């Protein structure tokens, strides 16, 4: 270990230090080391130029957040020495001429592997490197929504939420590329909540993609609608507003003049009423059959794209429990729940296919953060023929018979036989 520390010290003194990575924390040591919390995963160190002085930037990577701190060479040597003696079992030092790896076994045996660098290596001393993000946290609405500081830095407790938002936008962007739109793209976000994902999509489509869009967030809580519309107005976001409504009742709100009062920034004549067609229908984590209500709105309006992240699946679970039809899987409670989830979303996908949508089911975010990570996407491709419709109805019937389901809510609402 001292050999490794000596190599580190030499690289800091002669300017050959390129970067350093610490990994594999010793959990028993972490718990006794007061300056680190138990969820530390890695530490990354790189040289930077800060106010015309050479410093070293430390990125502390925790389970759900990153922290960055800058130190001079003396502090860097001391801190890294403490980290490799107290917490981390693996360390990799990269210099202009060598790669030095240190590994500590469970029994405390230290081994060093040194390799000479044959290619010419350069140092990257850029500070605050601009990330190629799909959305910009420096936009003022993110501070007003509570995700960032006034300076546009994502707060520590919202790091994962911001990552989720970016992933969502990335997925929607990929799906939209396979759809042809004509003129203004009209988007309805059902059960929009606090508006994080609604704002992200509006920002990306208008600022990055330069699309002409009309965006409406549908939210049942009046206090949220008022708050979000104030942010929209203060941010001068055109053709964008929230309306107070349940998903099921949204079809009744067809009078543009009455709804125009919601936001003075919205050009009512350009916006959709539900008697018009919606191009993109979004419903993320709408609870239970509210997801089905949203899908119905999308199908009835002829939406070119329907994107849903289903939430709970109580309706089918209750049907299965009531029928008492079980097999070797569903007789276990936890598997009954999971099977209800798969059956619910499978039938949703089949019904979308019945109405002319090509469906995809994909993972939305990492499984470790929530089990509700399925994204159901339907892209309108054209009505199937009668033979194909009959095949789809047959598949739905077989699933229902196998698990004792009388009717799926979406099937009933759409009056399928």
pLDDT tens digits, the chain, 417 residues: what are they? Answer: 999 999 999 999 999 999 999 999 987 665 555 555 667 889 999 999 887 889 999 999 987 778 899 999 999 999 999 999 989 999 999 999 999 999 998 888 999 999 998 777 766 655 554 456 788 999 999 999 999 998 888 998 898 888 888 888 988 888 888 888 888 999 999 999 999 999 999 999 999 888 999 999 999 999 999 999 999 999 999 999 999 998 888 864 444 433 444 444 554 444 555 445 799 999 887 777 888 888 989 998 899 999 988 777 778 777 877 777 777 666 776 777 788 888 888 999 999 999 999 998 887 654 344 445 688 999 999 989 999 999 999 999 999 888 888 888 888 767 765
Taken as a whole, the chain contains a residue count of: 417
- Write down the pLDDT at residue 381: 93
Q: What is the pTM of this model?
A: 0.64
Q: Which residues contact 341 (CB under 8 A, 6 or more apart)?
A: 310, 313, 374
Instruction: Kindly tell me the burial class for residue 66, based on how many C-beta atoms sit within 10 Å of its own C-beta (0-12, 13-18, 19 or more).
Output: middle
- Give tens-digit pLDDT for 394-409: 999 999 888 888 888 8
Range 140-413 has CATH code 3.40.50.150:
yes
Report the distance separating Cα 147 and Cα 193, nearest Å.
Answer: 15
CB 208 within 8 A of CB 172: no
Cβ neighbors of 227 (< 8 A, separation 6 or more) are: none
Contact status, residue 104 vs residue 90, Cβ threshold 8 Å: yes
Predicted confidence at residue 261, as pLDDT, reads 41
Q: Residue 66 to residues 93, 128, 155, 160, 282: CA-CA distances in angstroms?
A: 21, 14, 10, 10, 31
Task: Give me the pLDDT at residue 266, please.
Answer: 53
Question: Which residues, including other chains, have CB under 8 Å from residue 171's CB and lie 6 or more apart?
Answer: 362, 364, 375
Separation between Cα atoms, residue 126 and residue 88, nearest integer Å: 26
Residue 369: enclosing H or E segment and its boundaries?
none
Contact 284, 218 (CB under 8 A): no
Q: Taking a C-beta distance cutoff of 8 angstroms, is the pair 59, 43 a contact?
A: yes
Looking at 72-129, which runs of residues are DSSP E strands?
A: 88-95, 98-104, 110-116
Which pair of tokens denotes residue 384? 């199937």
pLDDT in tens, 34-85: 555 667 889 999 999 887 889 999 999 987 778 899 999 999 999 999 999 9
Among candidate residues 66, 41, 227, 237, the one with its CA nearest the CA of residue 156: 66
Closest among 350, 248, 339 to 292, alpha carbons compared: 248
d(C-alpha 38, C-alpha 41), whole Å: 9
Strand arrangement of the beta sheet that strand 110-116 belongs to: 66-71, 53-62, 40-50, 17-25, 88-95, 98-104, 110-116
- What pLDDT sits at residue 262? 44
57 SS3 class:
strand
DSSP code of residue 148: B
The Cα angle at residue 179 between residues 174 and 183, in degrees rounded to 5:
115
What is the predicted pLDDT for the residue at 268?
44
Q: What is the pLDDT of residue 127?
A: 52
Residue 203: in which H helix or E strand, if any?
helix 196-203
**C-alpha closest to that of 7 among 125, 70, 96:** 96
Extents of the domains making up the chain: 2-116, 140-413
């Amino acid at each position: 270990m001292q050999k490794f520390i000596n190599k580190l010290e030499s690289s800091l003194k002669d300017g050959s230090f390129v970067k350093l990575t610490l990994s594999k924390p010793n959990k028993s040591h972490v718990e006794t080391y007061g300056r680190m919390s138990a969820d530390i995963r890695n530490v990354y160190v790189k040289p930077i130029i800060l106010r015309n002085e050479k410093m070293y930037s430390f990125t502390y990577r925790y389970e759900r957040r990153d922290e960055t701190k800058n130190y001079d060479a003396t502090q860097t040597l001391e801190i890294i020495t403490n980290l490799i003696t107290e917490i981390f079992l693996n360390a990799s030092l990269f210099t202009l001429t060598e790669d030095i790896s240190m590994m500590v076994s469970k029994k405390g045996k230290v081994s060093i592997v040194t390799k000479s660098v044959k290619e010419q290596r350069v140092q990257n001393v850029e500070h605050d490197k601009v990330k190629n993000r799909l959305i910009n946290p420096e936009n003022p609405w993110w501070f007003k929504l509570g995700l960032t500081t006034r300076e546009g830095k994502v707060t520590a407790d919202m790091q994962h939420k911001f990552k989720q938002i970016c992933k969502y936008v990335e997925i929607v962007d990929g799906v939209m590329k396979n759809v042809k739109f004509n003129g203004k793209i009209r988007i309805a976000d059902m059960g929009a909540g606090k508006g994080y994902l609604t704002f992200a999509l509006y920002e990306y489509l208008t600022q990055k993609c330069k699309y002409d869009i009309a965006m409406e967030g549908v939210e049942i809580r009046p206090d949220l609608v008022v708050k979000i519309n104030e942010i929209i107005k203060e941010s001068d976001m055109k053709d964008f507003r929230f309306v107070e409504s349940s998903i099921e009742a949204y079809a009744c709100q067809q009078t543009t003049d009455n709804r125009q009062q919601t936001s003075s920034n919205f050009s009512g004549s350009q916006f959709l009423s539900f008697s018009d067609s919606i191009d993109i229908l979004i419903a993320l984590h709408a609870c239970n059959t509210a997801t089905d209500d949203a899908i119905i709105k999308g199908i009835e309006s002829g939406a070119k794209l329907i994107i849903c992240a289903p939430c709970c699946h109580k309706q089918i679970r209750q049907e299965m429990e009531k029928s008492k039809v079980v097999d070797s899987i569903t007789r276990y409670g936890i598997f009954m729940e999971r099977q209800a989830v798969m059956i619910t979303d499978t039938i949703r996908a089949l019904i979308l296919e019945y109405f002319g949508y090509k469906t995809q089911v994909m993972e939305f975010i990492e499984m470790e953060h929530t089990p509700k990570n399925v994204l159901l996407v339907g892209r309108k491709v054209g009505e199937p023929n009668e033979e194909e419709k009959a095949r789809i109805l047959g598949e739905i019937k077989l699933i229902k018979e196998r698990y004792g389901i009388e009717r799926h809510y979406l099937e009933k609402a759409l009056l399928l036989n």
